[in-house]
């Protein structure tokens, strides 16, 4: 794909959001699409962090949850509007992400996934235990961005946020930062020896991807309107990881394809009930990882040899 | 008077009880090429790692272009004009050849476009233009070593440390390497080159330093060193 | 004052022994194969379900539940190695470490989903072997189940030490740790010893979960909590070090109980986390860990 196509993708999403809001979709479909934007932002930013920068953090869903609960705090506690929270939370969560980045600077290789997993686990236990703040499993109620049950506004907003994500992603991957991140992913010692400032690159990668996760969380809170600690379950993280790896980690459109595949499966098997859906989705993700190693994009492009170089980022 | 661009004094490094570098004094002048030779395990790579900041010395000092860089993280000396290549090649597997080379310009402050256009020229110089868009993983060992040389062209360093550039490389490529080194040396870059290909490296260098067990066993012109009985016993025989 | 202190210390050690047992298999497998197994917690979870099945449904004596848990844990660990992990660590792909993490993480999610589907989300309990409170020194009270669990845990870890340092299996494991390729060259059957390591790791996890079951609950997502504890233990102790795991497990138990007693009862899990952060700041490779050669 050429650079021009990459720049058209954001426009496409904005246009799609506008168009779909005008057609008037069935509520089920609209809900599916709007929440898919939440997952696209999460899987996409996780792909930038893990697939491009090589930092396998399992705290990403924790950052989204922080963004959601922060939004609730601003709206319920601070009396601000949901719109203000959508702007403030990415910044606040980026600072949290910077903290994670500092941890990542201290450790090597497989330690980061372990630590971030423990971090997310501790945060989940805290959320469940601090029922005086989170209202326990009853959840917190938030007002909608505009009163009523109109989904068209969220379709437009979702299209804009998805477009925004692809703009940021293009800027990163095609710019300096993206190349420096990938160098660190492939061999940190050599990158360091070449003069790459590991500190700056890692912190930047963590902060930018955390901001996107915070934005996702804030969008979720504003849309769903009810927050429960289960938002931070490892199952949700599993979902995000599955989406990123099914398409292919380290591929620009990997998460998009993963989100489309998983959300479609979810849509078609929803009749069986939530428990079956979860088994099917995690099962499919596991099979893809075991048999297609680098994901669907790599597999398909191997079937079309000439395309390989172009599909790669 | 020639300018000293790199100097180490009393450099020492131990891993556990293993004294890997045992007090090395070393000087390199601008436009000078020093060959570093010695048996496997002598500490040649470790010596470069110490200079480049990859290892922290236990004792001793390192001066780069007159400024002290002892105990600094590797990116600092790199930004102050130190280039080093790695024994196993320094390519990033999933990046294309041109991206691999462009990085060397980007750490010098070039923008990505500018760096990539310069990288294209450097790749042409080393004969890698046909594979410029291939991921480094798909290149041969010799091609990956040429990536280091294309980077060297972009990095425009004051001091270059090359770790066994000629290992497993065919004569045509060795000739490309020789030409690039000679040209840059004549422009005033100081080189320290590790190699086991003595005819090749002796043809380029003014001075030879022989390392064994972390110490300087002998130093001098290629002829002096080859005639030294201690060197013959430890390395050449 | 001293009474409270001694009681907390003992309680912490008892708890810590179980943490160590939970984590030791994880550390063993990492030490040998450089694989971090994110499905380790589900070995524990399925083990405790096996115990509930044998004791609660079949009505067999409690000690048979422990055996069932160990066997179930070992079986699922063995299957995991063969079906999921071996194809990866024997392959030539890049970033194997990260890849095994993703595969085992997705496996763990699949096992949780499958367990939820099969067993439901009800919280179950296992009767203990010794449901009694004991008075030690006349003034310290400890639950019999905790003592049983601790003794069993320490006995199992001692057995592992014996295997690692005194038997041929242990010698082969250590050879693999130091030099996997070299070990293969001198004729050590990597597959066989990898299988043995996974069997041991799964058995230990299952047993630990069954010993913990009378003190906690058995439910499909319980493995996540177990894994968080096990991770904290191996990060503190140093990944791959069995000694470090034992020490860190006991330390974690003591710190949690002490924090709960002397600081605030609400944040038991936070103390272990704080300990982990402190260790990371001062010794990122863990108390007993080593850093490897990089360039
Ligand atoms: N990171 C390290 N940890 C422990 N020992 C090391 C490390 N790096 C090098 N060594 C040891 O230092 C000695 C010299 O190695 P090296 O510098 O690679 O030798 P050469 O490049 O001359 O062949 C060897 O004994 C090697 O095992
Ligand atoms: Mg060497």
Q: Residue C135's domain spans which residues?
A: 3-282
A131-154 average pLDDT score: 80
User: A312 to chain B: which residues are within 8 Å by CB?
Assistant: 135
The answer, for B110 touching chain A at a CB cutoff of 8 Å, is no
Lowest-pLDDT range, A127-136, A244-253, B15-24? Answer: A127-136
Lowest-pLDDT range, A25-29, C43-47, C154-158, C184-188? Answer: C184-188
Distance from the Cα of residue C77 to its chain's centroid: 13
Q: Is residue C25 part of a domain?
A: yes
State the distance from the centre of ligand 2 to the C-alpha of B163, rounded, in angstroms: 7
Q: Is residue B68 part of a domain?
A: yes
Predicted confidence at residue A312, as pLDDT, reads 47
Residue that finishes a domain, picked among B139, B156, B173: B156
Give the H/E segment covering residue B60.
strand B59-64
State the distance from the centre of ligand 2 to the C-alpha of B158, rounded, in angstroms: 22
A159-178 average pLDDT score: 97
* B73 and B117 housed in the same domain: no
Predicted confidence at residue C291, as pLDDT, reads 61
B167-181 average pLDDT score: 93
Structural tokens at position A298: 């790599």
**Pairwise pLDDT comparison (C265 vs B21), residue with the higher score:** B21
Among B92, B94, B112, beta carbon nearest to A175: B112
- Total CB pairs under 8 A between chain A and C: 125
Predicted confidence at residue B173, as pLDDT, reads 93
Q: Write the CB contacts of C30 (distance below 8 Å, at least 6 apart in sequence).
A: A110, C36, C37, C234, C239, C240
Chains meeting B at 3+ CB pairs closer than 8 A?
Answer: A, C
Q: Is residue C293 part of a domain?
A: no
Predicted confidence at residue A313, as pLDDT, reads 45
CB-based contact C295 B137, cutoff 8 Å? no
Q: Is residue B129 part of a domain?
A: yes
* B10 and B103 housed in the same domain: no
Q: Name the domain count of chain C.
A: 1
Which residues have CB under 6 Å of ligand 1? B 15, 20, 38, 40-46; C 293
**Angle of the C96-119 helix axis to the C62-80 helix axis, nearest 10:** 140
For residue C162, name the pLDDT band (cuts at 50, 70, 90): very high
Angle at A123 between CA C108 and CA C271, to 5 degrees: 105
Predicted confidence at residue A246, as pLDDT, reads 93
HSE toward the beta carbon, residue B32, CA cutoff 13 A: 21
For residue C273, name the pLDDT band (cuts at 50, 70, 90): confident
CB-based contact A187 B92, cutoff 8 Å? yes
Q: Name the domain count of chain B.
A: 2
CB-based contact C109 A282, cutoff 8 Å? yes
Among A56, A233, A282, beta carbon nearest to C110: A282
Predicted confidence at residue A222, as pLDDT, reads 94
CA dihedral B60, B63, B68, B70 (to 10 degrees): -40
Q: Would you say B30 and B50 are in contact if contact means Cβ atoms under 8 Å apart?
A: no
CB-based contact B54 C94, cutoff 8 Å? no
Distance from CA of C207 to the nearest CA of B (A): 39
Q: How far apart are the first and last CA of chain C?
A: 54
Distance from CA of B160 to the nearest CA of C (A): 18
pLDDT tens per residue across span B39-61: 999 999 999 999 999 999 999 99
Q: Is residue B126 part of a domain?
A: yes
Q: Whose CA is nearest to atom 2 of ligand 1?
A: C293
For residue C284, name the pLDDT band (cuts at 50, 70, 90): confident
Q: Is residue C291 part of a domain?
A: no
Q: Is residue C145 part of a domain?
A: yes
User: B86 to chain C: which residues are within 8 Å by CB?
Assistant: 295
| Residue carrying structure tokens 């905790």 | C146
pLDDT tens per residue across span B152-162: 999 999 999 99
- C295 has pLDDT over 70: no
- Ligand lying nearest the CA atom of residue B41: 1
Give C179: exposed, middle or buried? Use CB within 10 Å, 0-12, 13-18, 19+.
Answer: exposed
* B8 and B75 housed in the same domain: yes
CB-based contact B106 A174, cutoff 8 Å? no
* Count of residues in chain B: 237
- A26 has pLDDT over 60: yes
pLDDT tens per residue across span B80-121: 999 999 998 899 999 999 999 999 999 999 999 999 999 999
Residue in C with minimal Cα distance to B88 = C295
The SS3 assignment for C41 reads helix
Q: What's the 3-state SS for B171-237? A: HHHHHHHHHHHHHHHHCCCEEEEECCCHHHHHCCCCEEEEEECCEEEEEECHHHHHHCHHHHHHHHC
Residue in A with minimal Cα distance to C295 = A189
**Angle of the A198-224 helix axis to the A152-173 helix axis, nearest 10:** 170
Integer Cα distance of C77 and C80 in angstroms = 5
Predicted confidence at residue A229, as pLDDT, reads 85
Q: Would you say B34 and B209 are in contact if contact means Cβ atoms under 8 Å apart?
A: yes
Q: Is residue B122 part of a domain?
A: yes
Which spans in chain C are helix H? 2-33, 40-52, 62-80, 86-89, 96-119, 144-166, 168-178, 180-185, 190-212, 222-237, 242-262, 268-282
Residue that finishes a domain, picked among B156, B179, B196: B156
DSSP label at residue C83: I
CA dihedral A160, A166, A168, A169 (to 10 degrees): 160
CB-based contact A192 B73, cutoff 8 Å? yes
Pocket residue to mutate for ligand 1, from B19, B20, B40, most atoms within 8 A of Cβ: B20
Q: Residue B124's domain spans which residues?
A: 92-156
Predicted confidence at residue B145, as pLDDT, reads 94
Ligand 1 atom with the shortest distance to the CA of B42: 22
**ipTM score assigned to the predicted complex:** 0.93
* B74 and B164 housed in the same domain: yes
Structural tokens at position A101: 């980045």
- Ligand lying nearest the CA atom of residue C294: 1
State the distance from the centre of ligand 2 to the C-alpha of B177, rounded, in angstroms: 19
* B175 and B76 housed in the same domain: yes
Q: Whose CA is nearest to atom 21 of ligand 1?
A: B45
pLDDT tens per residue across span C47-69: 999 999 999 888 889 899 999 99
pLDDT tens per residue across span B208-233: 999 999 999 999 999 998 888 888 88
* B70 and B163 housed in the same domain: yes
* B23 and B111 housed in the same domain: no
Other beta carbons less than 10 A from residue B223's beta carbon: 10
User: B53 to chain A: which residues are within 8 Å by CB?
Assistant: 193
Structural tokens at position A214: 């915070």
Q: Is residue B231 part of a domain?
A: yes
Q: Is residue C88 part of a domain?
A: yes
Q: Is residue B86 part of a domain?
A: no
**Angle of the C242-262 helix axis to the C2-33 helix axis, nearest 10:** 150
Integer Cα distance of B161 and B49 in angstroms = 10
Q: Is residue C289 part of a domain?
A: no
C87-93 average pLDDT score: 80
Distance from the Cα of residue A199 to its chain's centroid: 23
Among B92, B111, B134, beta carbon nearest to A183: B92
Q: Is residue B227 part of a domain?
A: yes
User: A114 to chain C: which residues are within 8 Å by CB?
Assistant: 36, 231, 234-235, 239
| Domain CATH number, residue C44 | 1.10.3470
For residue C24, name the pLDDT band (cuts at 50, 70, 90): very high
Average pLDDT along chain B: 93
* B17 and B49 housed in the same domain: yes
DSSP label at residue C56: I
Residue in A with minimal Cα distance to B135 = A309
C22-37 average pLDDT score: 91
The answer, for C274 touching chain A at a CB cutoff of 8 Å, is no
Long-range contacts at C58-66 (CB < 8 A, ≥ 24 apart): C62/C126, C62/C127, C62/C128, C62/C129, C63/C129, C65/C126, C65/C210, C66/C152, C66/C207, C66/C210, C66/C211
CB-based contact A245 C102, cutoff 8 Å? yes
| Domain CATH number, residue B18 | 3.40.50.300
pLDDT tens per residue across span A171-228: 999 999 999 999 999 999 999 999 999 999 999 999 999 999 999 999 999 999 889 8
């Amino acid at each position: 794909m050429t650079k021009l196509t990459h720049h058209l993708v954001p426009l496409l999403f904005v246009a799609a959001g506008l168009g779909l809001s005008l057609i008037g979709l069935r509520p089920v479909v609209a809900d599916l699409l709007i929440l898919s934007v939440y997952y696209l932002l999460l899987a996409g930013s996780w792909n930038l962090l893990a697939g491009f920068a090589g930092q396998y953090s399992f705290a990403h869903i924790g950052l989204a949850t922080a963004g959601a609960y922060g939004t609730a705090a601003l709206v319920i506690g601070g009396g601000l509007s949901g719109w203000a929270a959508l702007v403030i939370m990415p910044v606040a969560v980026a600072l949290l992400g910077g903290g994670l980045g500092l941890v990542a600077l201290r450790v090597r290789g497989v330690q980061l996934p372990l630590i971030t997993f423990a971090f997310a686990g501790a945060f989940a236990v805290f959320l469940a235990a601090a029922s005086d703040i989170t209202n326990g499993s009853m959840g917190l109620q938030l007002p909608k961005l505009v009163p009523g049950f109109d989904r068209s506004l969220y379709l437009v907003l979702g299209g804009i946020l998805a477009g925004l994500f692809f703009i940021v992603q293009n800027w990163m991957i095609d710019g300096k930062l993206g190349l420096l991140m990938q160098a660190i992913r492939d061999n940190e010692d050599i990158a360091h020896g070449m003069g790459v400032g590991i500190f700056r690159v890692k912190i930047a990668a963590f902060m930018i991807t955390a901001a996107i996760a915070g934005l996702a969380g804030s969008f979720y809170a504003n849309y769903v309107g009810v927050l429960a600690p289960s938002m931070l379950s490892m199952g949700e993280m599993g979902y995000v990881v599955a989406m990123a790896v099914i398409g292919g980690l380290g591929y620009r459109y990997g998460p998009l394809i993963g989100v489309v595949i998983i959300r479609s499966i979810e849509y078609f098997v929803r009749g069986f009930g939530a428990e079956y859906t979860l088994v099917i989705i995690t099962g499919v993700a596991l099979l893809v990882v075991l048999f297609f190693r680098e994901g669907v994009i790599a597999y398909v492009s191997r079937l079309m040899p000439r395309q390989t170089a172009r599909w790669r980022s | 008077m020639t300018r000293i661009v790199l100097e180490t004094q009393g450099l020492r490094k131990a891993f556990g009880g293993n004294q890997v570098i045992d007090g090395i004094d070393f000087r390199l002048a601008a436009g000078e090429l020093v060959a570093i030779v010695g048996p496997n395990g002598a500490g040649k790579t470790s010596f470069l790692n110490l200079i480049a900041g990859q290892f922290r010395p236990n004792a001793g000092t390192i001066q780069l272009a007159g400024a002290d860089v002892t105990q600094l993280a590797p990116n600092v000396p790199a930004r102050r004009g130190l280039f080093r290549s790695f024994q196993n090649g320094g390519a990033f597997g999933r990046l294309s050849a041109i991206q691999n080379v462009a990085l060397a310009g980007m750490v010098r402050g070039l923008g990505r476009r500018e760096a990539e256009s310069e990288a294209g020229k450097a790749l042409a110089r080393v004969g890698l233009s046909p594979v410029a868009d291939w991921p480094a993983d798909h290149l041969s060992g010799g091609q990956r070593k040429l990536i280091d040389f294309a980077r060297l062209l972009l990095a425009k360093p004051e001091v270059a440390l090359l770790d066994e550039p000629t290992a497993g490389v065919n004569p045509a490529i060795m000739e490309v390497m020789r030409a690039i080194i000679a040209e840059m040396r004549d422009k005033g870059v100081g080189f320290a080159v590790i190699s086991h290909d003595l005819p090749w490296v002796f043809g380029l260098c003014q001075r030879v330093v022989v390392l064994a067990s972390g110490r300087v066993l002998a130093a001098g012109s290629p002829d002096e060193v080859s005639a030294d009985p201690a060197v013959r016993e430890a390395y050449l025989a | 004052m001293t009474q409270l202190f001694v009681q907390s210390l003992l309680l912490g050690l008892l708890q810590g022994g179980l943490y160590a047992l939970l984590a030791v298999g994880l550390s063993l497998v990492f030490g040998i194969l450089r694989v971090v197994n994110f499905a380790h917690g589900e070995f524990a979870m399925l083990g405790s379900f096996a115990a509930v099945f044998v004791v609660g449904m079949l009505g067999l004596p409690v000690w048979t539940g422990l055996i069932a848990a160990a066997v179930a844990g070992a079986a699922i660990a063995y299957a995991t190695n063969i079906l999921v992990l071996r194809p990866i660590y024997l392959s030539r792909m890049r970033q194997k470490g990260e890849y095994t993490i993703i595969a085992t993480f997705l496996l763990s999610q699949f096992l949780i989903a499958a367990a939820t589907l099969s067993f439901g989300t009800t919280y179950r309990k296992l009767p203990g072997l010794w449901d009694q409170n004991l008075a030690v020194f006349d003034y310290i009270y400890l639950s019999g189940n905790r003592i049983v669990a601790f003794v069993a845990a320490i006995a199992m870890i001692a057995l592992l030490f014996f295997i690692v340092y005194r038997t041929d299996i242990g010698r082969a494991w250590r050879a693999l740790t130091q030099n996997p390729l070299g070990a293969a060259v001198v004729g050590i059957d990597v597959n066989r010893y990898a299988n043995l390591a996974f069997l041991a790791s799964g058995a230990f996890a299952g047993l630990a979960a069954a010993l913990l079951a009378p003190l906690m609950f058995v439910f499909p997502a319980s493995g996540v909590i177990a894994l968080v504890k096990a991770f904290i233990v191996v990060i503190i102790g140093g990944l791959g070090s069995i000694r470090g795991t034992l020490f860190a497990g006991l330390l974690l138990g003591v710190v949690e109980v002490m924090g709960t007693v002397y600081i605030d009862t609400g944040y038991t899990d936070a103390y272990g986390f704080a300990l982990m952060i402190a260790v990371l700041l001062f010794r990122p490779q863990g108390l007993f860990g080593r850093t490897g050669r990089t360039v």
